Amino acid sequence: MHPVSITIEGIDGAARATTATTANGTYRTPCFMPVGTRGAVKYLSAADYARLGAEIVLGNTYHLMLRPGAATVAAFGGLGAFTGWKGLTLTDSGGFQVFSLDPKVDDDGVTFKSTYDGSSHRFTPEIAVHTQELLGADIQMVLDVCPPLPSPPEVIRLALERTSAWAARAKVAHQRTDQALFGIVQGGISEAMRAESARRTADLDFDGYGIGGLSVGETRSEMIPALAAAIAGLPADRPRYLMGVGDPASLVEAVGLGVDQFDCVMQTRIGRHGTALTAGGKLHVKNARHALSDDPIDSTCSCEVCANHSLGYIRHLFQVGEPTASRLVSIHNLGWTLQLMERMRAAIATGTFAGLRREVLAIWG
């Protein structure tokens, strides 16, 4: 019995709607996970994303282990209790952040400097597992090597080999039976290496599978074949998680290939700066033409921001430097994305996913 089991409730082509059951609750897929990097989605509280309908929220191991420290989070009863979030949680390994800091990497692990105070830290697959067991999320990710793209084939190959070796070590180190452990597939945009990495990761029999190292500089047309090659090697009875991807076109394309879950900071990052996701594409709230608009951000959106506030008002808040503006557009963008996932689930159930995919790509492709 795995800590995560999935029940497939609908299939349309390769797209699938499921309910994933963890030791502590369920989440429906396709799903989008808001990113609470340091224990909160910027400008939002746990009550906000609960109202929006999020079922699982991501926390960042790298930041949480440095501040306030994994032992502190454990003392509160784990990440959910610490943050006041009643839903499910997933922690990434922190590897992506570590590798963005130009660390010293060897076969055993990685040495990096804290972005907070410059102090030196050692991170290994075993330390990543232990740290995340203290953080207590429902799902934790193995430590992987995420190479930048483009990278030479030998760099992608070394990342694949280390990721595979580290995954095996993480599997041995993992002790908490109430916490799922997901492996991660690497391999750049090479279909052959993606297929190999997927096979080797699946052979280790994880509770679910992340697909990492995509949407890091490659085009969508380069990403899709690599993603398809990875998915082909992963078991159908476990969740598939495309890490760090959240633009609407990539979401609908990846769901069409059989991906179940996603996370991304884009929704709130662009929201903080005044860009909204809408049925007609990106909308720049700060534009002068919205000054007298009493329309909502998106008349098709059912979020609380669109129900209560005009474009003209939100633009005014940005003009006067009122942080509420960033909060409102962030709430809208998360709500809009969660509604898109609901639309995808409904389309899969009714066999109309291909039409929804065409509709989304016509605007966002």
Q: Is 142 left (phi over 0), alpha (psi -120 to 50) or beta?
A: beta
Task: Specify whether the CB–CB gap between 189 and 218 falls below 8 A.
Answer: yes
C-alpha distances in Å from residue 322, one per residue of 246, 256, 312, 313, 326? 27, 40, 14, 11, 8
The DSSP 8-state label assigned to residue 30 in this structure reads: S
As given in the structure block, the two tokens for residue 238 are: 């476990």
Task: Specify whether the CB–CB gap between 4 and 344 falls below 8 A.
Answer: no
Helix pair 324-350, 311-319: axis angle to 10 deg: 140
Closest CA to 129 of 79, 85, 95: 95
Residue type, 223: M
As given in the structure block, the two tokens for residue 33 are: 């996970």
Closest CA to 88 of 172, 29, 130, 42: 29
Residues assigned a catalytic role = 92, 263
As given in the structure block, the two tokens for residue 280 are: 């007609």
As given in the structure block, the two tokens for residue 234 are: 């992963």
Task: Specify whether the CB–CB gap between 183 and 210 falls below 8 A.
Answer: yes
Three-state DSSP class for 244?
Answer: coil
Contacts of 166 (CB under 8 A, 6+ apart): 109, 124, 125, 142, 143, 144, 145
Task: Specify whether the CB–CB gap between 3 and 23 falls below 8 A.
Answer: yes
Closest CA to 191 of 145, 222, 158, 148: 222
- Which H or E run includes 315? helix 311-319
